[in-house]
Amino acid sequence: MRKIPIQKRAAVLLLLFVALLSSCGSKGSSFPEQDAAKVTAAVDKLMAGMNVPGVLLGLWVPGKGELLIARGVSDLVSKTPITENQLFRIGSITKTFTAISILQLADENKLSLDDTLNKYDARFPYSDRITLRHLLNHTCGIYSYTDDSGFQDAIVKDPAKKWSYEEIIGIALSHEPNSPPGEGIRYSNTAYLLLGKIIEKVTGNNASDEIKRRVIDKLRLGNTYMAAGPQMQGNYSHGYTYDLGNGLQDITKQEIGSWGWTAGGLVSNMSDIKLCAEGFTDGRLLSRKMQAEFTNWIALPVSSGTPVESFTGLGIVRYKGLVGNSGATYGYAAWMWHMPATGATLVAFFNQKTTWEPARNAKEEEMMAELLKTVMEVRLKKGTDLFSGSINKSVPFSRKEVVRYNGSRWDTRQVHGKETSIL
């Protein structure tokens, strides 16, 4: 979603708890001490620069070992330490579950990625030209309801307000399209709510149930569920934000299951997201044809949270050699990354996210990018950042730099266009 609930990126940690609640360890084979110290120092730097109560980061690198870093607390009142088995809201990582469900339906010939939106909902401008593929890769041009100031104000006023699907779609319909379909990229949470409703129309079942059957159960995820109501279930971390005003506020109770739903309503934990990072990239959930569609990469616009060499597929993202997704909603941010070339996996959770204060949001995203860069320096070796999947060169991009893989190396060239914030 915009830079808001459900979207991608993460901030980090609280200086107040650096000395108080730090734990850093390795599980399984020993992780090199120098690399572990480097990543831990980067996390500590974030804790000193950001006001995030807790962070959890797991790194699994074949041949190097496993690293778990747990810092801070999951609850500012009880001072409960953050732990690896706790649940977090995962925001836009939900989109990958939704996309895979749509691609499976295409595998079953129950729909086509070339179906136009008017087959399912003819209310949107260009609905006779917008395809399911456009919805999946954010080239549909449909306005994202989370960008609407009235929606944002309503969340601030009452995070626990339950929203209806039609209420959310009505917000999107009240705005003009960002562009005709296929003529630019603009992140759209509305697109993924529409995909959820399409799943229901095609199957006759609740989209949450279909996602559970098609993805959660097949990957044997025992701790992942669609949020229902404002209260989280199980052993969960609280979430905190500055979006509500009056300093850092607890926003654990929120109705993201109704307004985020198939765009960002899932809850999960570290062990499950690790399984997802691996299962989403190895092709076990899709046919070879649909896996190729899934990873048909197009370049993303550059922003503070989306660096050069970032690409989107159909509900999945690629940055350098990493494939996966990230997510953010009020109070929570999450990473899910896997490197097919090396088998390495990175999962992280942060229990503070602020999205609507531009200066703070930009700072959080910059610090998150710095942490990711540090982790990648540990994980990457020269020449191992190649990936499988084609790059679609047919879509014009509203960005200042476009980076493309020419078959042997990355080329960067300047293009004209407005810089857009996305993912």
Share of the chain above pLDDT 70, in %: 82
CB 208 within 8 A of CB 200: no
Residue that the structure tokens 């200042």 belong to = 400
135, 175, 200, 235 from 193: Cα distances, Å: 10, 16, 11, 28
Separation CA 319–CA 23 (nearest Å): 29
Residue 1 pLDDT exceeds 50: no
Q: What is the pLDDT of residue 25?
A: 44
Sign, CA torsion 202/115/120/191:
positive
- SS3 label, residue 57: strand
Phi, psi of 329 (to 5 degrees): -145, 175
Q: What is the pLDDT of residue 229?
A: 96
Q: What is the pLDDT of residues 62-108, one digit of tens each?
A: 888 899 999 999 999 999 999 999 999 999 999 999 999 999 999 99
* Domains (range + CATH), the chain: 15-414 (3.40.710.10)
Q: What is the pLDDT of residue 137?
A: 97
Q: What is the pLDDT of residues 158-180, one digit of tens each?
A: 999 999 999 999 999 999 999 99
